[in-house]
Amino acid sequence: MMVQYQLGDIAIQRIVESICTGFEPLSFFPGSTSEDWSRHRSWMEPRALDPVSGNLVLTIQAFLVRTRHHVILVDTCVGDHKSRPQRPFWHMQKFNTFLPRLAAAGVNPEDVDYVMCTHLHGDHVGWNTQLRDGRWVPTFPNAKYIFAQREWDSFEELHRRNPQPQFLDSVLPVVEARQAQLVGSEFSLDDEVWLEPTPGHTPGHVCVHLASRGAHAVITGDCIHSPVQCVELGWTMRADADPALASATRLGFLERYCDSGVIVCATHFPEPSIGRIIRRENAFWFGEDAT
């Protein structure tokens, strides 16, 4: 289950927190109709669409990236003990899966050098912090947490107008501990790891690009949520902050990486979540990697 993908000198490994079947497809993609879903059901079930509930299957996972120099965690899932009354299936969850699976991959919290968040929604920042003696403290004591400045600015403003629980318990404590590093949306950590601006789902959303020995990979975050969006190019997701921009960014992403050989690590896609974008008819297709 925890296969390691080797990209030149970089090892990529998925750390799965849970498989979420809590989202109903018609409301997740407000532009979709029941007729659309009856057309897609046959190829999406059972892996991308749950035949029991009829809901989408979304993997909630982080990507562990080990380069020759750094141990990096990209996105940190939902987290345990987080109060999320708006999302009953994530509210106060106590899965105790994330840190044990990270440990099984050979990484203890103190080993992580960098945490990178593609954006600041609750299912991407959760394990940034953990509850200790009644306080939220950074889970990774030696890590720098890299947030795009633009994303930080937009969530700080949003939080002032409309309190964001994940900003309060999973982002602010990292800043208070002086472990946050706010960067431009095209920030490069080094010549193997850099950010790619992919705004729309959130104003400062970024993908994470990896390169080693001529091989490239990109971690999508929420630039795309489900393989159905490779086919239904006009569908936007209910939480897209700017649906038109999100759509244009997603189409640009699919065009850029289509038939390019670049490995796409699609954060919420069904397992194995790692593959390539290929062109198919007038749209695209996500071809899963054999590993």
Question: Which residues bind to Zn ion, rule: CB under 5 A?
Answer: 123, 222
Minimal distance in Å, beta carbon 17 to Zn ion? 12
In which residue are the tokens 């106590």 written?
94
CB of 202 to Zn ion, least distance (A): 10
**C-beta of 123 vs 196, nearer to Zn ion:** 123
Q: How far is the CB of 192 from Zn ion (least distance, A)?
A: 25
Nearer to Zn ion, 10 or 286 (CB): 286
Closest distance between Zn ion and the C-beta of residue 225, in Å? 7
Tokens of 54: 């009829």
Q: Which is nearer to Zn ion, 10 or 230 (CB)?
A: 230
* In the complex, minimum distance from the CB of residue 268 to Zn ion, in angstroms, rounded to a whole number: 6
Structure tokens that stand for 69 in this block: 């120099």
Tell me whether strands 263-265 and 215-219 are parallel, antiparallel or unpaired. parallel
Helix or strand (DSSP H, E) at 34:
helix 34-44
Q: How far is CA 191 from the centre of its chain?
A: 22
Return the structure tokens found at 3: 């296969």
Nearer to Zn ion, 101 or 121 (CB): 121
- Measured between alpha carbons, how far apart are the two ends of the chain, in Å? 10
Helix (H) or strand (E) holding 174: helix 172-176
Torsion of CA 51, 56, 60, 63, to 10 degrees: 100
Of 173 and 221, nearer to Zn ion (C-beta) is: 221
Q: Which CB sits closer to Zn ion, 28 or 187? A: 28
Q: Least distance from C-beta 77 to Zn ion, angstroms? A: 9
Q: Specify burial of residue 290 (Cβ count, 10 A radius: 0-12, 13-18, 19+).
A: exposed
Closest approach of Cβ 75 to Zn ion, in Å?
8
Q: Is 262 left (phi over 0), alpha (psi -120 to 50) or beta?
A: beta
Q: Pick the closer one to Zn ion by CB: 75 or 192.
A: 75
What distances in angstroms separate CA 202 from CA 108, 244, 261, one per listed residue?
30, 12, 27
